[in-house]
Amino acid sequence: PATKAMAKEMLPVVDKPLIQYAVEEAVAAGIEQVIFVTGRGKRSIEDHFDHQDGLESQLLAKGKDDLARVYREVSDMAEVIYVRQKQPLGLGHAVWCARHAVGDEPFAVILPDDLMDAEPGAIGRMKAAYEASGASQLAVEPVDPADVGSYGVIDPGPFNGETYPVRGLVEKPAPAVAPSNQSVIGRYILSPKVFDPLSKGGAGAGGEIQLTDALQALITDFGEALQAYPFTGARFDCGSKLGYLKAQIEFGLRRGEFGSELADYLRQRLTETAADNGAQPVSQR
Ligand code: G1P
């Protein structure tokens, strides 16, 4: 129900919407232009990154200068372009919709559901790896083999200390036929060549136009090199309720103004829960 009438990208973690974490990660990587591929019901994303002069002047009049400044910083964060995906035909199609705005340059793809917690950020590291190798980069993470069916999964070559060469990849395989458990998570740095296979528009897994299939075609039909970049920070899958709750707790705990109070509250709750269960409190194990 939370996203029935609102864009899921606008769900807040503590006090910022998921989409803002994604844009901040891009900006920290030196990316200057952000293209949002949006659809029906996503207008609030545009409003979020827009100037709201009336609101800002009201805040200034009330002496809330800090909040007015924060609001202005959000809207000045990056140059933004909005592209409308008229039908939800899949991630590959969403990327294809951005082709004119991207042009003939390498570009990053960020899926804001995957909130990545790393310093430096995932996209920044992958951009450096792209610049060093010229190979498109896919962020990967090993997942429980039972869960590979929720991801694009790579067939990795030998690890070179930083990346794996990608020999092939398959979208949402059944666990029994998955080439590995190294799963693609929501960060990519891609060569603009990917628009060639995407232009064919063939549907793949789940009847959707899959980015994974276009990436496989880059290897098979275009002889391009792809590398998988193991992500080493913490990833919160905010598309799942549990992942979203974990993100709230993690990002809440590190907030100076209430982090220690939240930690005290959690400790107390865990102690009570352990006592209720007749088990030892967590802190005494
Ligand atoms: C998409 C991609 C999939 C990738 C995943 C990461 O799937 O198609 O290859 O592993 O994002 O979050 P979705 O989550 O949109 O089903």
117-159 tens-digit pLDDT: 999 999 999 999 999 999 999 999 999 999 999 999 999 999 9
* pLDDT band at residue 73 under the 50/70/90 scheme: confident
Q: What is the dihedral of CA 81, 83, 89, 95, to 10 degrees?
A: -40
Quote the distance between the C-alpha of residue 137 and its chain's center. 14
206 and 248: one domain? yes
Q: Compute, in angstroms, the gap from residue 209 CA to the centroid of ligand 1.
A: 12
The percent of the chain in helix, strand and coil, each rounded to the nearest 5, is 45, 20, 35
Position 179 in a domain: yes
Which amino acid residue places its CA nearest to atom 10 of ligand 1? Answer: 151
Q: Are residues 265 and 250 in the same domain?
A: no
Residue 3 contacts residue 39 (beta carbons within 8 Å): no
In a domain, 129, yes or no: yes
Helix axes 18-28, 122-133, angle to 10 degrees: 40
Residue 1 lies in a domain: no
Bridge partner list, 141: 183
Residues with CB under 6 A from ligand 1: 91, 111, 114, 151-152, 171, 183-186, 210-212
Question: Which residues is 189 bridged to in the sheet?
Answer: 108, 137
Cα(185) to centroid of ligand 1, in Å? 7
Residue 283, pLDDT > 60, answer no
pLDDT tops 50 at residue 276: yes
Closest atom of ligand 1 to 211 CA is 8
Contact predicate 112/18, CB 8 Å: yes
Residue 60 has pLDDT above 60, yes or no: yes
Our count of domains for the chain comes to 2
Same domain? 231 vs 275 = no
- Domain co-membership, 199 together with 275: no
- Both 35 and 117 in one domain: the answer is yes
* Mutation probe of ligand 1 site: the residue of 111, 148, 166 with most atoms within 8 A of C-beta: 111
Determine the pLDDT at residue 282. 58
- The domain of 20 spans 8-254
Higher pLDDT, 70 or 103: 103
Q: Which of 91, 181, 236 to mutate to test the pocket of ligand 1 (most atoms within 8 A of CB)?
A: 91
* pLDDT score recorded for residue 178: 97
Residue 2 lies in a domain: no
Is residue 271 domain-shared with residue 216, that is, in the same domain? no
pLDDT reading at 17 higher than 60? yes
- Asked whether residue 225 carries a pLDDT value surpassing 80, the answer given is yes
Is 52 a domain residue? yes
β-pairing verdict for 136-142 and 226-230: parallel
- Per-residue pLDDT at 58: 92
Q: What is the pLDDT of residue 285?
A: 45
Strand runs labelled E in 73-181: 79-84, 107-110, 114-117, 136-142, 152-156, 164-171
Residue 183's CATH number = 3.90.550.10
Rounded Cα distance, 123 and 115, in Å: 12
